[in-house]
Amino acid sequence: MQMPRPSEVLADIVGTSAGVLFDFDGPICDVFQGLPAPGVAAALAGIVASRAPALGERAGATDDPMEIHRLSQEGGAALLAEVEAALTAAEVAAVKVAGPPVAGAVQALAAAKESNRRVAVVSNNSGECVREYLAIHGIGGAVDVVVGRPVLQPDLMKPDPHPLLAAAGALDVEPAALVLIGDSITDVAAARAAGVRSIGFANKFRKRSTLAEAGADVVVVAMDTVADALTSAGVVWRRP
């Protein structure tokens, strides 16, 4: 039997969805484009090193702010709260100087909304920075729900399914009728754990294989492709 083409798989996934979940950093925005992540990580590592010296070396060994945020919980609730507050402030500052939305992202959000699908942004970034960016660029009206980083609960961030299930509940859509668009293997893992289908957004060449190997239902290289698929799928009926 001939395998369906990626375009056919995408059309089927989108056409049978009642709601679309968008990851934020990648499919919509390059969060740390104007305020590079390594600098943010260094500042967070400094907080960790000063409050919990035993964790300082591990914190200083990564340039990923999210990893330092996860690590900080090992230093106790007070350290986690301080690091999370600093990370949230940095994210809000970062989106204020980030570039325009990723090519095709605005069109994909609009197409999802106009086709009567429920729309959520589900992110490991703070809800504050997501809402700030959407407001700055005038695209908040296309989004029904924002599910940001769980407050003081880094273990519930993706790849845990918790954020996706929270979005499903807020949208009143069964997980199986949702599709997540994400650019990382943690997005794909969270989707699989939640029973949500996934579209891998390979915004870098190497992601084409890693997202497919992680189990994404289909992989695209441009958000315009998602927008076109949503437009072609047409309007869905949802109960009032």
Q: Is residue 79 part of a domain?
A: yes
Domain that includes residue 47, residue range: 37-96
pLDDT number for residue 3: 73
Torsion sign, CA atoms 148, 149, 152, 157: positive
What is the per-residue pLDDT across 8-60, written as a single tens digit (0 to 9) for each? Answer: 999 999 999 999 999 999 999 999 999 999 999 999 999 999 999 999 999 99
47 and 134 belong to one structural domain: no
pLDDT at res. 113: 96
Q: Is 131 in the same domain as 202?
A: yes
Cα Rg of the chain, angstroms:
18
Dig out the tokens for 115 from the structure. 């086709």
The rounded mean pLDDT for the chain is 96
Six-digit token pair at 71? 């690590």
Concatenated DSSP letters of 111-160: HHHHTT-EEEEE-SS-HHHHHHHHHHTT-GGG-SEEE-PPTT-GGGSTTS
Instruction: Give yes or no for a contact between 222 and 206, defined as CB atoms under 8 angstroms apart.
Output: no
Do 109 and 80 belong to one domain? no
Given this model, what pLDDT does residue 237 score?
A: 74
Tell whether pTM > 0.85: yes
Give residue-wise pLDDT tens across range 7-20.
999 999 999 999 99
